[in-house]
Amino acid sequence: MSRFSAPIAEQIWDMKYRLKDADGTPRDQSIEDTWRRIARALSEVEKEPAKWEDAFYGALEDFKFLPAGRITAGAGTARKVTLFNCFVMGTIPDSMAGIFDMLKEAALTMQQGGGIGYDFSTIRPRGSDVLGVAADASGPLSFMDVWDAMCRTIMSAGSRRGAMMATMRCDHPDVLDFITAKADAARLRMFNMSVLITDDFMEAVKADAPWELKFDGKVYHTMDARDLWNQIMQGTYDVAEPGVIFIDRINAANNLNYCEDIAATNPCGEQPLPPYGACLLGSINMARLVKDPFDAAASLDAEAMQELVAVAVRMMDNVVDASQFPLEAQAREAHAKRRIGLGVTGLADALLMVGLRYGSDEAARQTEEWLKAIARAAYLASVDLAKEKGAFPLFDAEPYLASGTMQAMDEDVRAAIRENGIRNALLTSIAPTGTISLYAGNVSSGIEPVFAYAYTRKVLQKDGSRTEEEVVDYAVQMWRDKMGDAPLPDYFTNAQTLAPGDHVKMQAAAQKWIDSSISKTINCPEDIDFESFKDVYMQAYETGCKGCTTYRPNDVTGSVLSVSEKSDESPEVDHGADVIYMADPLERPKSLDGATYKLKWPDSEHAIYLTVNDIVIGGHRRPFEVFINSKNMEHFAWTVALTRMISAVFRRGGDVSFVVEELKAVFDPRGGAWMEGKYIPSILAAIGGVLERHLISIDFIEGEGMGLKVDPQAEAMGVDSRPKGKACASCGQYTLMMVEGCMTCSSCGHSKCS
């Protein structure tokens, strides 16, 4: 009898978390084997490993406690991998040697799969003097381009897709360039970006006061604070970035503000960390803790929750000792403070099960009450661990208890910490759980609302055909099982209909008892006006949030996963956004229209000439074949091979724009070159750029970094193939949704954040 409640859950386990040999032979024969592997690995550091292995297995069983994917996939495998998800790298020195030392450290961390954060505020602004050199500084944005190229290199080498966060202070002279950098759809695509907002700046915005942009004591420019705020807001209104991080609030609340300063977060923002800070993640599945769901007496099982939290804290503390680290500095930091990030998932489902509408005042109060209970249980469990194993090495009772977070904690917890110390400096965090939530039966993700009650997932079979299966939210399926065909109650709500203010209300309620931070997306309707949009961020600041991330679908960001609760369409007719792939290649007409482009790579004696010929189908042009020629004989073999491979792909039809992205992601270890003001990492990437310009010129794709505009093959067959947004990089389906600050595919669970 399978423990999985839906096919997608088992498929995600098999793809992402199931231990297999190099040839693909499964070593975890069942999900029970996976739970046992994790439990055994994390109990090995205990004095009584057999006792704790059983306790850990019990917590994992039936998806009650969900360690983050890195732990689930890596624990007990004997592989040299880190079990930590979140890293903030060291402070970037304002020197060329120091900058590239930091780049090397970032590459080593990302090679092991860690998401990293960096504060680029420490690099001098563009145009400032470089001491000892007769030159002007190129500024932090130019070095961010190099970091972006490094991340693409790691990705193209076969490692996990990289994720990075870049932050910059709101008073840095280059902050305006930082704000607008991602208006160029092809630039800094591997970064999430956030502006570090200070309390002084927010007061200046409210007072419409002037604001100085300065570096190293020198004022470079003065502008109206409100104008700068509006430019930040316009950027996120248009392209969903940059986000904002209320950095003074983070540092004031930090339990460790007596021994560290924070200036950056991990890629999704839930872990503000000091230089070389690291944190691991795991989530309590609240949907599994509700007793008597949908009955008048429905409630969260407080006793079961307390016991589960205690075991989860012990497991996560053991991860600190069981994990490897990409850098020694990260290991030292983790062992000195023993941070863990215990969060929740399934909150929205749990609220539905007890009859509360997500976003209501009652739901916010219940959320605050539940998360306070979890925080209390976590802190008391960590105190018990300190009695047994010792407090974290940098523990100092009085300054620790004087922090903003600890001042709000109940007195009995404070007294226990004062007397016994505490094992883990910080304990709670709400991280992205998109993939593990699907794996756990499609429970609602993190503290997000239910995204959709149900949707149809198209699964590509080995023979090229597609089958359809319904993916149903966990609480909705439970309602169906219990109530049959009875309509959903009025208090059911989802992300499609929830007001932005209700999102903020729920985030603020949760933040009160989360000592780190929260990864959450505030979904805004496309037609929200700019003033109302700005009010969302001001509400987030005024209600105590530590940051704010919004998503407004539009022509730039794409409109994600369209869902319909009811459909009158016949199931046999596919009007979706799936691209049609042809089984047989297209036949070549006798003549084709095309264009030839000259590519001159710096320091190369001979130019490369690219000819792209197009075929017309249904009145639209699409690429059909490519010819690459050069007098440089060193290029002969690979240009011929590339010509044949690209042409073969083009002749198969469908959305071939991925060829551009694959070529642009290739990086030459000997170094790239600057061309037309952009860093191009290799000749192949330059060829990809030329192909992209051609596809734009024939209206096959809409613009740089964007996918298929019209598939003429599908249009000629009478199928609407225009995507409802961007395609998933893993499975190619147009089922992306913005959840917890990260684009997540609801069809395969792919996300660059988890």
Active site residues: 266, 268, 270
CA–CA dist 49, 53 (Å, integer):
6
Strands 264-265 and 210-215: unpaired
Q: What is the 3-state secondary structure (H, E, C) of 85-100?
A: CEEECCCCCCCHHHHH
Query: What b/e readout covers 323-361, taking b as 16+ CB neighbours within 10 angstroms?
Result: bebbbebbbebbebbbbbbbbbbbbbbbbbbbebbbbbe
Q: What is the 3-state secondary structure (H, E, C) of 327-379?
A: CHHHHHHHHHHCCCEEEEECHHHHHHHCCCCCCCHHHHHHHHHHHHHHHHHHH
Helices 361-389, 411-420: inter-axial angle, 10-degree rounding: 20
- Let me know: does 642 contact 683? Beta carbons within 8 Å: no
* SS3 assignment, position 578: coil
The tokens of 701 are what?
A: 């794709």
Task: For the chain, give the number of residues.
Answer: 754
Residue 273's H or E segment, with its range, is strand 272-273
- Let me know: does 470 contact 454? Beta carbons within 8 Å: yes
The tokens of 625 are what?
A: 């074949």
Side-chain half-sphere exposure of 234, counting CA atoms within 13 A:
12
- Let me know: does 312 contact 68? Beta carbons within 8 Å: no
- Let me know: does 500 contact 524? Beta carbons within 8 Å: yes
- Give, as one character, the DSSP assignment of residue 625: E
CA–CA dist 676, 531 (Å, integer):
37
Query: Peptide bond preceding 242: is omega within 30 degrees of 0, i.e. cis?
Result: yes
Strands 218-224 and 210-215: antiparallel
CA–CA dist 444, 455 (Å, integer):
14
The residue type at 628: I
CA–CA dist 668, 51 (Å, integer):
52
Dihedral-angle region of residue 45 (phi above 0 means left; psi in -120 to 50 means alpha; beta otherwise) = alpha
How far is the first Cα of the chain from the last one, in angstroms, to the nearest whole number?
28
Question: Which residue spans within 498-587 are E strands per DSSP?
Answer: 522-523, 547-548, 550-551
| Cross-strand pairs, 65 | 284
User: Within the chain, what is the greatest distance between any pair of CA atoms?
Assistant: 87
The residue type at 233: M
The residue type at 532: S
Question: Which residue spans within 495-592 are E strands per DSSP?
Answer: 522-523, 547-548, 550-551
Among residues 72, 446, 407, 424, which one has the least CA distance to residue 270? 446
Query: What b/e readout covers 451-475, taking b as 16+ CB neighbours within 10 angstroms?
Result: bbbbbebbbbeeeeeeeeeebbbbb
Among residues 51, 502, 514, 516, which one has the least CA distance to residue 266? 516
The tokens of 317 are what?
A: 């503390």
The tokens of 654 are what?
A: 């469908």
- Let me know: does 190 contact 118? Beta carbons within 8 Å: no
The tokens of 432 are what?
A: 């992205």
- Give, as one character, the DSSP assignment of residue 450: P
